Chain A
Amino acid sequence: MWDYKKYLQYPANVRRKDPDLAGLIVTQFGGPDGELAASLRYLSQMYSMPIPEARATLNNIGTEELAHFEMVGTLVHKLVDGVPADVLRQTRFAPHYAQWGRANFPGDAFGNPFTAAYIASHEDPIASITEDLAAEQKARAVYEYLLDITDDPSIIDTLSFLREREVVHFQRFGEVLDLLYDYQDN
């Protein structure tokens, strides 16, 4: 089961308000390669994994992704919090504001709502772990796209941290894959 610690895993600060950027960073909140997708993907796959190393890895990484979901949510929130409506009206955040106000909503950068169609979960553990390896690469790539389009040093700091986590997760899933091969051969 899950518990909550009342601190972010890593700081998520912004130097200045930027509703345009909020509407882009939101892709890692509720988009196809974002943290919510990652969390649900891993926390769905863990049940039918045949080896304990796989279950534990999926459980712990899936849990960590929820902390990242919170961090990205914090960035989006801070970027628009307190920005007057007439200013928001002039940004690409305007449709979001019209539908949801300044509240966070899990969706992608185009406004598409989150869907579990973003994830796969298979009884075949090789299929699932390969999906996870791909997911970590895509998330890393998206963080790089986002790093390309902001010069806010605080946001760059947070995005760089999240990007590095994807690299580490990829390594762990790679190790699980190898352990699965061993399990299959014996």
Chain B
Amino acid sequence: MDSKKQSYPCPGPDRMKLAHAYIPYQEFREAYSPEQALRRGTLFPELWMPYQPGRVRGAY
């Protein structure tokens, strides 16, 4: 896991600058089957973030 991390830009607090937006880099762990992927709308379980109408607006 660590060696993979080094090969990606990974914004740590020391690297972040004010007035710049950062989104964490995805690191591949596993993939859904194509059938499950299509049903969920993504191949990657960690990116599956379905709508939860009970939560406050914008939370996902």
Contacts and interface: CB of A to CB of B under 8 A. Distances in A.
Contacts of A143: 51
Contacts of B26: 171, 175
Contacts of B13: none
Contacts of A164: 40-42, 48-50
A133 B53 contact: no
A167 B49 contact: yes
Contacts of B50: 160, 164
The interface size bin for chain A is 20 to 34
Contacts, number: 64
Interface in B7-50: 9, 11, 20-26, 38, 40-42, 44, 47-50
Interface string A46-77: 00000000000000000000000000000000
Contact of A167 (B9, B21, B47, B58): B47
Nearest to B44: A168
A178 B51 contact: no
A85 interface: no
Contact of B53 (A140, A147, A168): A147
A178 B23 contact: yes
Nearest to A170: B23
Nearest to B41: A164
Contacts of B38: 10, 161
A168 B20 contact: no
B22 A163 contact: no
Contacts of B47: 167-168, 171
Given A160-B41, A164-B40, A168-B42, A178 B53 contact: no
30 contacts: A144-B51, A144-B53, A144-B57, A148-B53, A161-B41, A162-B41, A163-B41, A164-B40, A164-B41, A164-B49, A165-B42, A167-B42, A167-B60, A168-B47, A171-B23, A171-B26, A171-B47, A174-B21, A174-B22, A174-B23, A174-B24, A175-B25, A175-B26, A177-B22, A177-B23, A178-B11, A178-B25, A179-B9, A181-B20, A182-B9
Interface of A: 10, 130, 133, 140-141, 143-144, 147-148, 160-165, 167-168, 170-171, 173-175, 177-179, 181-182
